[in-house]
Amino acid sequence: MESTLVILKPSTIQRALVGQVIDRFQKKGLIIAGMKMMQLSEAILREHYAHLVDRPFFPGLLESMRATPVIVMCIKGRDAVEVVRAMTGATNSRKALPGTIRGDFSMSGQENIVHASDSLESADVEIRRFFTADEIFDYNPALMRSMYAPDEL
């Protein structure tokens, strides 16, 4: 099973969409292996968004990601990285397809509801960036056998 990192961004907290977004992941059959609220520091955001620090919108992104605490989630499932990315939709929410989280809940390129890891490699790094080992729980819901065929587990 793969694990991936999701961040419910400050706009999701402000707009009271936390429950609806988490509901989508749970209904899909993804497992919440870790979840907590935290205030992101500039330092952790510079690391997390290292690929964007030189972009003109970066100061605005920093401010936006620090506007309120966020909710960080470690989400587990078969092919979880790809599945969660697909559920998230395109970066610019106006281009994100209807049915995706960004496509359904946002009109913005910046205020786009969730972060989701873009590869297995970044998921591993990002989960360790936001969680300590004892904050990730290794359990399987009782309904696991109804959610997957035996050869998919």
How far does the chain reach from its first CA to its final CA, in angstroms? 7
In the complex with ligand IDP, the residue whose CB is nearer, 109 or 148, is 109
With residue 48 as reference, give the H or E element that holds it.
helix 42-48
CB of 118 to Mg ion, least distance (A): 5
Q: Which parts of 105-124 interact with Mg ion (CB under 5 A)?
A: 118
Cα(118)–Cα(90) distance, rounded to whole angstroms? 11
Burial of 139-152, coded b for 16+ CB within 10 Å and e otherwise, reads eeeeeeeebeeeee
Packing angle of the helix pair 80-88, 120-130 (nearest 10 deg): 90
The reply to whether 115 sits near ligand IDP by the rule CB under 6 A is yes
Would you list the DSSP string of 84-106? HHHHH--SSTTTSPBTBHHHHH-
CB of 152 to ligand IDP, least distance (A): 27
Catalytic residue among 48, 115, 127, 131: 115
The reply to whether 118 sits near ligand IDP by the rule CB under 6 A is yes
In the complex with ligand IDP, the residue whose CB is nearer, 14 or 140, is 14
In the complex with ligand IDP, the residue whose CB is nearer, 49 or 148, is 49
The reply to whether 26 sits near ligand IDP by the rule CB under 6 A is no
Q: Which residues bind ligand IDP (CB under 6 A)?
A: 49, 52, 57, 61, 91, 109-110, 112, 115, 118
